[in-house]
Amino acid sequence: MKKLINAPGNYVDEMLDGLVAAHPYLARAGEEGRVIRRASAPRRGKVGIVSGGGSGHLPLFTGYVAEGMLDACAIGNVFEGPTVGSCVEAIQAADGGAGVLRLYGNYGGDRMNFDMAGEIAEADGIESTTVLGIDDVASAAPEEGAKRRGVAGILYAYKAAGAMADRGASLAEVTATAADAVARTRTIGVALSPCLIPGSGAPSFTLGENEIEMGMGIHGEPGIWRAPLRPADEVADEMLDRLTADAPLSGARQVSVLVNSLGATPLEELYILYRRIAQRLAADGLEVVMPLVGHYATSMEMAGVSVSLCVVDGAFMELLAAPTSCPFWRGAA
Amino acid sequence: MKKLINAPGNYVDEMLDGLVAAHPYLARAGEEGRVIRRASAPRRGKVGIVSGGGSGHLPLFTGYVAEGMLDACAIGNVFEGPTVGSCVEAIQAADGGAGVLRLYGNYGGDRMNFDMAGEIAEADGIESTTVLGIDDVASAAPEEGAKRRGVAGILYAYKAAGAMADRGASLAEVTATAADAVARTRTIGVALSPCLIPGSGAPSFTLGENEIEMGMGIHGEPGIWRAPLRPADEVADEMLDRLTADAPLSGARQVSVLVNSLGATPLEELYILYRRIAQRLAADGLEVVMPLVGHYATSMEMAGVSVSLCVVDGAFMELLAAPTSCPFWRGAA
């Protein structure tokens, strides 16, 4: 595994410099430069939405700072959560006077720092709420759903809450929309090969020459099983079975599906998987609306995919279909 | 290297099925199903634009069939050109009665088949012209520019010619715009690791554990040198030096830059490279407009990047900035 980088210690800062250079509607902010915010000032009266987490998951998290989605992100080193200071600065950057939603994945360190940041912001007069992404069905049993990790499915919450905030909804309403999006969404991943943390000599985990791991997390957290590589359709079937067994599908007629590359897995393979998933869902009487196929939440050059299922109805679909300037959101209604 | 696929012989067809399932504005067509066209009938009086080539390069070629870009693509097996029959069918699918531009990369087999298809289409009363992508500076010396291969830079010709066709321009005008875009554009690639052709037991080429190859083509065609991995900035500097030495920069004030992942190389590394390239261009007094950073033309899971430079002026920029519905074109002015 080779990385086209400079000094590993500069990896995150150089990456963020490139990101804002390529996307002038973004700006770096914060004492450590670890906040990505919209370059324009927050719209007065609009609820702000912040997210954040470790680096190494582009376009997550910073790529979703855009009109119609997030207002700011606090970003840490590779696979390490942002500091409390950066979290506070992200909340401040997102503050338009109507409160700020903290919307991020359920990881212990991130929670601690974002919670502390929320208290500091409150002392500054900025009201804020929290919704956690908990979409990874492989990370805890259904009855312990609140313990699940957040992975690619948080995208649906970004999009829906972002659209709600743009409509001028209150903090309570935007928070409820994000929580609703999380409740509608389930994700599972499968890993084919690891990634390399810059500066570390060894891969993030090891898999045998012909081995895959079902349910592995995006930082290499242990999954459900390891076994030899299987045909794509078998893998898709198992992933879909695990998602449909868990998702709130009772009475559902429409779902959105996100087939996400964890990094190295190419679009060709994503479409092969999507084909099977769409066939299966159609056979189950479910209509797929706004399929998302591509690189949405990665672990650098890790090979593998995640599949997310989001149960959609008319009102929720309007939020997904609302306009956004985000170049990484490629949904079409 | 592991691939999440089914039977290798079904790879291309299953991929195309997934593509059109995920993007309902696309349709498969042709006797062998190896044409991707817009689902809607061609606009009467609009010049059609077709492209094509081997599979394995998504979103190239088929991903650029969209309003404001291509009308149809003929697609072959992995790294193999499309058949004459598919090329004819693509031309027919793109025909709106105002002629069709055949716009594709300069590869021997593709030329032979698209030329023959052009003759067959002419006998059917469809006028067509040819413009070849020849942007890869590593593939032949400047004085033999017409022998160069076409790689990611053909995207600029797709975009500019597509916008021109949408304006209602004539076949001669659309052809001239595509030729102008090709003349403005230079690309060079660097490979870090190979890909695996489905069904083949061995990687497409081999590189040492810590070795990279400057100038390698997207099918593993030999490049300029092989040497141990270097810091990203050194690699970026050499790529940019080779591009600026070759590009028509005399009197230029604006350039667009495409930093393209060949597959496995993650967005993080693309932004690190883009940062350096933008800094260097700014120091040279050149303004970067509409930077493109992402997966635009790949070789499945090959690791590496290509950098393209396109010299822009006001009129050309209007074409790049014209609207397109293509989800894979992420340019913003």
For chain B (333 residues), the mean pLDDT of every run of 10, in chain order, is 95 98 97 97 97 98 98 97 98 98 97 98 97 97 95 98 98 98 98 94 87 94 95 98 97 97 98 98 96 97 98 97 94 64
CATH code, domain carrying A109:
3.40.50.10440
Q: Is A304 left (phi over 0), alpha (psi -120 to 50) or beta?
A: left
Q: Is residue B106 part of a domain?
A: yes
Residue A104 has which token pair?
């991020």
Residue B139 in domain:
yes
Residue of chain A with shortest Cα separation from B233: A6
Strand partners, B325: none
ipTM above 0.95, yes or no: yes
Three-state SS sequence of A89-130: HHHHHHCCCCCEEEEEECCHHHHHHHHHHHHHHHHCCCCEEE
CB B55 within 8 A of CB B75: yes
Hey, how many other C-beta atoms are within 10 angstroms of the C-beta on B196? 17
Nearest-by-CA chain A residue for B15: A272
Is A151 in the same domain as A256?
A: no
Share of chain A above pLDDT 90, in %: 95
A76-117 tens-digit pLDDT:
999 999 999 999 999 999 999 999 999 999 999 999 999 999
Q: Do A145 and A239 fall within a single domain?
A: no
Check if B123 contacts A (Cβ < 8 Å). Answer: no
Of the three residues B184, B208, B241, the one that is the final residue of a domain is B184
User: A333 CB near a chain B CB, below 8 Å?
Assistant: no
Domain termination residue (choose one: B184, B204, B226) = B184
Give the residues of chain A that fall short of pLDDT 70. 332-333
**Cα separations in angstroms, A123 against A41, A58, A92, A102, B266:** 22, 32, 12, 16, 40
Q: Exposed (0-12), middle (13-18) or buried (19+): which is A27, by Cβ within 10 Å? A: middle
Together in a domain, B178 and B191: no
Annotation says B295 is catalytic: no
| Angle at which helices A11-22 and B267-283 cross, to 10° | 70
B198 and B304 housed in the same domain: yes
Q: Residue B61 belongs to what domain range?
A: 10-184
Using the Cβ of B39 and the Cβ atoms of chain A, whether some distance falls under 8 Å is answered with no
Contacts of B194 (CB under 8 A, 6+ apart): B1, B203, B204, B205, B206, B207, B220, B302
B311 and B231 in a common domain: yes
How many Å apart are CA A300 and CA A195, to the nearest integer?
A: 6
Q: What's the pLDDT score for residue A167?
A: 97
Within 13 Å and on the Cβ side, how many CA atoms surround B136?
A: 29
Judgement on whether residues A14 and A161 belong to the same structural domain of the protein: yes
| E strand residue ranges, chain A | 26-29, 35-38, 48-55, 72-78, 100-105, 128-133, 185-193, 211-214, 225-228, 254-261, 287-288, 292-294, 303-312
- The Cα of A171 is separated from the nearest Cα of chain B by a number of Å equal to 31
CA distance A234 to A232: 5
- The SS3 assignment for B131 reads strand
Q: Residues 278 to 297 of A: which have CB under 8 A from any B CB?
A: 278, 291, 293-295
The whole-number pLDDT of residue B1 equals 79
Contact (CB, 8 A) for B2 and A303: yes
The answer to whether residues A164 and A276 belong to one domain is no
Together in a domain, A48 and A157:
yes
Contact criterion met (CB < 8 Å) for A303 and B272: no
Question: Tokens at residue B87, please?
Answer: 């090329």
Q: Is B5 contained in some domain? A: no
Residue A330 lies inside a defined structural domain of this protein: no
Contact state of A231 with B5 under an 8 Å Cβ cutoff: yes
- For A266, the closest chain B residue by CA position comes to B300
Any chain A CB within 8 A of the CB of B313?
no
Structure confidence at residue B201 (pLDDT): 78
Task: Pick the last residue of a domain from B184, B212, B241.
Answer: B184
Using an 8 Å Cβ cutoff, are B263 and B298 in contact? yes
Tell me the HSE value of A52 on the side-chain side, using a 13 A CA sphere: 37
User: Does the residue B327 lie in any domain?
Assistant: no
Does residue B328 lie in a domain region?
Answer: no
Q: What is the pLDDT of residue A53?
A: 98
Both tokens assigned to A165? 């905030």
Q: Is the domain of B31 the same as that of B103?
A: yes
Domains contained in chain A, number:
2
Catalytic residue among B219, B242, B276, B295: B219
Per-residue pLDDT, A333: 52
Judgement on whether residues A58 and A205 belong to the same structural domain of the protein: no
Helices A84-94 and A108-123: angle between axes, nearest 10 degrees: 50
**Whether residue A284 sits in one domain with residue A300:** yes
| Whether residues B162 and B250 fall in one domain | no
Asked if residue B331 belongs to a domain, the reply is no
Token digits of residue B186: 């230079």
Tell me if B204 sits within 8 A of B191, measured CB to CB.
Answer: no
CATH number of the domain to which A304 belongs: 3.30.1180.20
Does residue A31 sit within a domain? yes
